[in-house]
Amino acid sequence: MSIQPTALRSVLNPRYLESALSNQYDIGTWEECLFWLRGLNDTYRVRTSSGMYILRIYRTEITEEDVQYELSLLSQLKNVLGSAEHTDIGEYIQKRDDTGYTVLEAAEGKRVAVMFRYIEGTENNLEDEESCYAFGQSAAELHKAMDQVNVELPRYELDLKFLIDEPLERIIRYIGENHEAAAFLHTFATALKERIFATSSQDLDFGLCHGDMHGNNNAFQQEYSFIHYDFEWAAKSWRAYDLAQVKIRKRQSGDSGQKQRLWDALMKGYRSVRKFTDADEQAVDLFIIARRFWVMGLDVAFIESDMGALDYGEDWLNDFLEEFRDTGIVS
């Protein structure tokens, strides 16, 4: 008996994409479609007679409903942020039929395609206090704008089930319930949830979040404005969770004292635009841990279809276990 589909994740031929999509947009004659980046989704750089664009081909797990939510959010944010001083977003390109996406058939199933404007600008790695202050202002403007939009479509929340329970299930399924690390991971997840639950009882700021504000998706700068894009994970959550991703951004350098000065500058910039209480700020470090737990679960989710198991064995597991033990959450 044959098993369908024949692929878990394919790479679509750029020539096929040009054939399938070039007549659907008023963006000039296609001159190049280049496979640009393999991430959670696949990104192509499209050059036409009118300029440069970015084509995203979502992985098959991302449904039409997910994309409809993201595009509706982008449309509303664009309107709300029209007069914002420090913040803009990456726009998607409407098709000739006034829709925003196309469903393509791939070997693994349906994949949604969306065209975005190419973001010009300089990637700011937030290595100085002035940049961090400006980014804090921009993040606050984005959250302020998100308080003013209303996407009337169903959506999950970035809650404890999403951040801890579901990743735990994936991790345990991968390593096996009988693995010696399983008991610790169960205990750690429970203790982490209890800490966050106790902290969240202090009326933390909760609302629509970017969901993936780790730097790469938010650090392109045009003069005094930061451009935020890739809203795939946008959903309601604690704003401290959004900012936790900025605090542990991968490209941050410097010693602990320097990192603290940069974080203080970012917080000062954020608070110059909107409120962020001491309780919110104190919760950030807890959400850093929750984010790392979620990342561990995300690793597991893509082993079978994308990354392979070779680099996700005992060394990978032990690195996370050591990191989680060092938090002191479980004695």
Question: Which sign, positive or negative, has the C-alpha torsion 245, 90, 66, 36?
Answer: negative
Q: Are 86 and 137 in contact (CB under 8 A)?
A: yes
- Residue 42 β-bridge partners: 38, 57
Q: What is the pLDDT of residue 249?
A: 83
Q: 314-326 and 278-302 are packed helices; what angle lies between their axes, rounded to 10 degrees?
A: 170
Contact 269, 136 (CB under 8 A): yes
Q: If residue 87 lies in a helix (H) or strand (E), which one and from where to where?
A: strand 87-89
Residue 34, number of CB atoms within 10 A of its CB: 11
Q: Is 185 helix (H, G, I), strand (E, B) or coil?
A: helix
Q: Which two tokens stand for residue 159?
A: 């809650």
pLDDT value for 256: 85
Asked whether 206 and 275 are in contact (CB, 8 A), the reply is no
List the beta bridge partners of residue 208.
236
pLDDT in tens for each of the 331 residues of the chain?
Answer: 567 788 999 999 999 999 999 999 999 999 999 999 999 999 999 999 999 999 999 999 999 999 999 999 999 999 999 989 999 999 999 999 999 999 999 999 999 999 999 998 888 889 999 999 999 999 999 999 999 999 999 999 999 999 999 999 999 999 999 999 999 999 999 999 999 999 988 899 999 999 999 866 677 888 878 999 999 999 999 999 999 999 998 667 778 889 999 999 999 999 999 999 999 999 999 999 999 999 999 999 999 999 999 999 999 999 999 999 999 999 8
User: Quick one: tokens of 137?
Assistant: 């202002």
pLDDT given at position 250: 63
Q: Tokens standing for 209?
A: 């979040």
What is the side-by-side strand order in the sheet with 220-222? 87-89, 225-228, 220-222, 122-123
Confidence at residue 121, expressed as pLDDT on a 0 to 100 scale:
82
Q: Which residues of 143-171 are buried (b: 16+ CB within 10 A; e: fewer)?
A: bbbbeebebeeeeeebbbebbbeebbebb
Helix H or strand E segment including 16: helix 14-21
Strands of 30-38's sheet, edge to edge?
30-38, 42-48, 51-57, 109-117, 102-106
Which amino acid makes up residue 215?
A: G
Closest CA to 277 of 235, 237, 236, 240: 240
